Structure 1
């Protein structure tokens, strides 16, 4: 029969049993489980490298940290131990995985305590919210890892698996959260690490069962039955949260798609350019914040969107429209000059001024005259940490007795960190210096002045 021929051909292509070295697989995983000696040094180096990569936003350094991380073996050991009914391996794997996780947290927290940087980068932010893709990467990475190790002719796939599953970076993200008291980063990073570990272990268990590894036998049959029950409970503990995590992540993806189809696409059709949109989650109401520029939108539009959400089984979501009173060209120009963190602060500032029902009419290009009074008002709105602001022209005579007019801006800022020698104080001072550069460029363009000097005090 043609169907039988096709089935036999597929079986031959997918069959990995003849290439499997059961004894060698168990020995190799078991030998690499303990966190001691070389593995300890590799773990420390991996944690510090991953922290540096996250702190500087360097993907290359993060990849290097993944390659030297020894976290994979204890996680594979958990899945293997459940699959072959080995109680001792199970206890050893969990113990060493716990030690490795605590050590990774400790050294990453220590690094972020002393680093002069410490601002949240894209690499850090990317590891605070697990997605369905993260789950799939962890699962298929675990499948590739155990298959690679089980081969009688060992392959070089393990480095690729280590990079794909990315165990150390989310653990170091949790360390960042501990160091700076940012528990959203701590729980988000540790949640991602836990999901990766669970699905790698689950994939290992399934492949071990598929390969029909022999389960461990005990002389005392009662002991064997007790161990089998313990392994069954352990499997349930591993599988249950993975189903829960997967369901929650799937629900989040579906909800986001629904919001995009119902709200975001319709709002874009109104010829408004959306700069950013996000969901701010609270206990009872989830606010969909849409930041945009373009045509003025009536407040009734938000009410209409709220009704649409309620009709589509999303009653706990409410829309908040935040329109920026600047042109799209100005938004793109400012976005190219500042980091993502400063952009976020800028959007928060605009939201505050919107709540106060104050509009930045003078920032529109429709304005024909832009005065120092306009500048003073706009800068105070854009930079809420300005306590006092003075703008005026100063006549300067150089050594050749030539006179020149310079626009001088005197700014008093809120006092930065209590000690400018510590990291928080230095970060505040650096932020003020960057704000000075932005203000200088902004006023030079708006007031059409060749020379603008900004003098700060705090």
Structure 2
């Protein structure tokens, strides 16, 4: 520290060199980071544009060997889907040549190559027709037509399918563009984007006459196709592939406009599809959160049970969305509880996407036993393929079916019985009915138990006679020798 004329300490001036040095170091660090990121992420330096273009064009045609490879792979995939074998389906996708025309579509739009665009569209159509026809013939004439979970999984796309198709397409075209193509990436994309299974499912839907399956699977295939082509288009543009030149400048401009319009037409449905599928996915997420936070946590005090695997959530675009849950057993959920759940759907900000959703709570205990039995049997048969590996759920359902069958066989028309008993027994004052469970530790039986109250003043002998007569009448009337009759306590 130096002193001024008055003797005060004055700090020394900070050298300008220090600030300049810091600025220079910061710039050097930024340049180093940029260089590192460029070397890490830049793919243009190692791209072979001519070889990439030739490779994509070479994979477009479907004729000769390629057609037979496609037919064989479709047969293998159909067998795998029919047998519910993921491994077989993956093997079929590894040998499938489906990706060629789709890459051709994206590349031709990016470089204004109208001839390649025409060839790609033609071969794309051939590919789809040949694949669907092959799958249709297999499922039409093959004797086993089970709706396996592998097949059903290809009938409804969600947001994950869109993202898989887009990023799979990116990975594929980047691998194609690299000098020395990465074959493992191509095989991996063929598996991840799963173009073949939806086409097989279209054939399956047509073979069994279920157009819903066919349209759903074709929608999934179209989504995959659009987003793979879109990823190819964007990557080719990013890599700045040279545009196809035409001798006639007017023709070149016309082709450029046509390619731009077609690219735009492809991107519009792609964006709309992404938005719609995203909305549906968010709706289903909130619906599942709602079910988990309410119905799934409801505490049954008796014999009720919430069947989580049978929850049905329907987005129903343009119509009223639906959440349907199933509870079985003798206990029912009170109406005021269900009303509070409906109010939560309408008012809770955490479930704002569920504002107009209808909540249906199907409760077996509110219906006749025969209706419970029919409903749970139907659910079990229609969804057993989706829970093949869930032994615990299957065991629960089978136990519920057996219980309902026993109850159905023991069903008592109590109102009719009580009216007939009153007419036949003048001394009868009250009659009660219920079920009892008895075991001898070898088996469990459900018994029909009646309790009677006779008028005051009857002798013990008279009561015993009336009990015996009524017991014999009940067993004959109900055709059940296990009926038990007891005297009501005072």
TM-score (norm: length of structure 1): 0.72
The reply on whether 1:303 has 2:303 as its aligned counterpart is no
Deviation digits for residues 143-170 of structure 1 (CA, Å, limit 9, x no counterpart):
1111111111121221111111110100
Q: Residue 5 and residue 74 in structure 1: after superposition, are their counterparts in 2 closer, same or farther (change >3 A)? A: same
CA distance in 1, matches of 2:227, 2:258: 20
Is the deviation greater in 129-138 or in 315-324?
315-324
Quick one: which of 40, 44, 55 aligns to 2:71? 44
Which residue among 292, 297, 305 is the counterpart of 2:327? 292
Instruction: Give the whole-Å Cα distance in 2 for the aligned partners of 1:116 and 1:158.
Output: 35
Q: Offset of 1:343 from its aligned partner?
A: 7.3
Q: Relative to structure 2, which stretch is displaced further, 277-286 or 200-209?
A: 277-286
Match of residue 62 from structure 1: 89
Counterpart for residue 417 of structure 2: none
Q: Distance in 2 between matches of 1:344 and 1:39?
A: 35
Q: What is the alpha-carbon distance in structure 2 between the residues aligned to residue 374 and residue 344 of structure 1?
A: 32
Out of 164, 169, 181, the residue aligned to residue 137 of structure 1 is 164
Distance 1:144 1:293, change over 3 A: same
Asked if structure 2 preserves the Cα contact closer than 8 Å seen for 1:302 and 1:320, the reply is no
Is the Cα–Cα contact under 8 Å of residues 362 and 374 in structure 1 kept in the other structure? no
Q: How does 1:276-291 map to 2 (within 5 A)?
A: 276=309, 277-280=311-314, 284-291=319-326
> Do the aligned partners of residues 215 and 361 (structure 1) sit closer, same or farther apart at CA in structure 2, a change above 3 Å counting?
closer
Which of the residues 298, 308, 314 maps onto 1:275?
308
Q: Structure 1 residues 215, 296: CA separation in 2 closer, same or farther (over 3 Å shift)?
A: same
Secondary structure of the 2:324 match is strand
SS in 1 for 2:360: strand
- Residues 342 and 263 (structure 1), Cα distance of their counterparts in 2 relative to 1, 3 Å cut: closer
If you compute each CA radius of gyration, which structure gives the higher value, 1 or 2? Answer: 2
Q: Is the counterpart of residue 318 in structure 1 residue 358 in structure 2? A: yes
Matched residue SS, 1:288: strand
Please say if residues 71 and 167 of structure 1, whose CA atoms lie closer than 8 Å, have aligned partners that are also in contact.
yes
Matched residue, 2:192: 164
Kindly indicate whether the alpha-carbon contact (under 8 Å) linking 1:120 and 1:341 is maintained by their aligned counterparts in 2: no
Could you tell me which residue of structure 2 aligns to residue 395 of structure 1?
Answer: none
Alignment of 1:71-110 (within 5 A): 71-110=98-137
What secondary structure does 2:308 align onto? strand
CA contact (8 A) 2:287 2:313 kept: no
Distance 1:106 1:375, change over 3 A: farther
1:15 and 2:42 equivalent? yes
* Partner of residue 242, structure 2: 214
**In 1, Cα distance between the equivalents of 2:408 and 2:213?**
42
1:225 maps to what in 2?
Answer: 253
- The normalised TM-score by structure 2 is 0.67
Q: Which moved more, 1:84-93 or 1:296-305?
A: 296-305
- In 2, Cα distance between equivalents of 1:266 and 1:147: 47
Deviation string, structure 1 residues 409-438 (Cα, Å, up to 9, x no partner): xxxxxxxxxxxxxxxxxxxxxxxxxxxxxx
Give the 3 Å change call, closer, same or farther, for CA 371–129 of structure 1 in structure 2.
closer
The offset of 1:177, in angstroms, is: 0.9
Equivalent residues of 1:71, 1:168 under 8 A apart: yes
Q: Distance in 2 between matches of 1:182 and 1:100?
A: 22
Tell which deviates more after alignment, 25-34 or 283-292.
283-292
Output the CA distance in 2 between the equivalents of 1:234 and 1:287: 37
Q: Check the 8 A contact 2:154/2:201 in 1, yes or no.
A: yes
Query: Is the CA contact (8 Å cut-off) linking 1:105 and 1:174 kept in structure 2?
Result: yes
Q: Distance in 2 between matches of 1:340 and 1:122?
A: 11
Match of 2:451 in 1: none
The answer on whether the counterparts of 2:286 and 2:354 sit within 8 Å (CA) in structure 1 is: no
Give, in whole Å, the separation in 2 of the partners of 1:278 and 1:231: 44
Once the two structures are overlaid, the 10-residue window that deviates more, 160-169 or 283-292, is: 283-292
Cα distance 1:119–1:316, how it changes in 2: closer, same or farther (>3 A)?
farther
Q: Shift of residue 34 of structure 1?
A: 0.5
Provide the alpha-carbon RMSD of the alignment: 3.0
Aligned-pair CA distance for 1:48: 1.1
Equivalent residue number for residue 143 of structure 2: 116
**Equivalent residue number for residue 387 of structure 1:** none
Q: Which structure has the higher relative contact order (CA within 8 Å, separation 6+)?
A: 1
Give the direction of change, closer, same or farther, for the CA distance of 1:96–1:321 in structure 2 (3 Å limit): same
Check conservation: 2:77, 2:88, Cα contact below 8 A. Answer: yes
1:235-246 equivalences under 5 Å are: 235-246=263-274
Assess, with a 3 A threshold, how the Cα gap between structure 1 residues 375 and 10 changes in structure 2: closer, same or farther.
Answer: farther
C-alpha deviation, 1:3, in angstroms: 2.3
Instruction: Name which of 226, 242, 249 aligns with 1:198.
Output: 226
Corresponding residue number in structure 2 for 1:152: 179
Secondary structure of 2:359's counterpart equals strand
Q: 1:363 to 1:28 in 2, by over 3 A?
A: same
Q: 1:314 Cα deviation (Å)?
A: 3.1
Provide Cα deviations, 1:65-99, integer angstroms capped at 9, x if missing partner: 11111110100000010111100001110110111
Following superposition of structure 1 onto structure 2, how do residues 323-334 of structure 1 map, counting pairs within 5 Å? 323-324=363-364
